[in-house]
Amino acid sequence: LFARPFLFTKGCVSIKDLPEPDRLEIAFAGRSNVGKSSLINALCGTSGLARTSNTPGRTQELNIFESQSEPLRIVDMPGYGYAKAPEPKVKAWTKLVHQYLTGRATLRRVYVLVDSRHGPKDNDLSVMNELDRAAVSYQVVLTKVDKPSATELEKVIALTKQAIAKRPAAHPDVIETSSEKNLGLGHLRSEIALLLAS
């Protein structure tokens, strides 16, 4: 699936800028700085494909990545929550994210990234509520599992499973990842391969 490189094809500041809905899409959502862009890079095996930063609010557009060999589009998104950017800008991209998440016919699954040190926060739960309402399939991915201790991580996994247990559009499995240590990428890749096969 990731044998051939994914390349950046487009940055979209408006729904009108999106490419034709001619292939399956997966999107990465989550709070600012949770590690969305880093995970896309790790997944695709290309550092610097999606731009990352220590400063929350790095990704400000819907960034589209495509491969010549796969009928799959990967969408990196601006984060929600605190961002170091002017308020009108944050408002505009928040609206764009919500429009995309709930109104894109080709969006096959959203990976909702949650920091493994904190577990789901209120704004993560709101996004899950919205995806449940719109009947858009999603799966929770814990990020930065290299950071918490084993006991902390176990706690957060239990909390996360509890938070998704009764949610109609949530995948029951939680994927544990570290882009830094290349953990859980095989699991994530196989979930994506299943989507393509189904």
Residues at the interface with Mg ion (CB under 5 A): 36-37, 58-59
Binding footprint of ligand GTP, residue count (CB under 6 A): 24
Among 49, 63, 66, 79, binds ligand GTP (CB under 6 A): 79
Nearer to ligand GTP, 71 or 86 (CB): 86
| 56 forms part of the interface with ligand GTP (CB under 6 A) | yes
| 34 forms part of the interface with ligand GTP (CB under 6 A) | yes
Stretch that binds ligand GTP, among 31-39, 62-70, 134-142, 160-168 (CB under 6 A): 31-39
Nearest distance in Å: CB 198, ligand GTP: 27
- 62 pairs with which residues across the strands? 12
What end-to-end distance do the CA atoms of the chain give, in Å? 14
Among 3, 16, 54, 198, binds ligand GTP (CB under 6 A): 54
Among 27, 44, 52, 142, binds ligand GTP (CB under 6 A): 52
Q: Which residue is nearest to ligand GTP (CB)?
A: 79
6 residue type, one letter: F
| 180 forms part of the interface with ligand GTP (CB under 6 A) | yes
| 63 forms part of the interface with ligand GTP (CB under 6 A) | no
DSSP string, the chain: --SSPEEEEEEESSGGGSPPS-SEEEEEEEBTTSSHHHHHHHHHT-TTSS---SSTT---SEEEEEESSSSEEEEE---BS--SS-HHHHHHHHHHHHHHHHH-TTEEEEEEEEETTT---HHHHHHHHHHHHHT--EEEEEE-TTSS-HHHHHHHHHHHHHHHTT-TTB-S--EE-BTTTTBSHHHHHHHHHHHHH-
Site residues (CB under 6 A) for ligand GTP?
30, 32-38, 52-54, 56-59, 78-79, 143-144, 146-147, 178-180
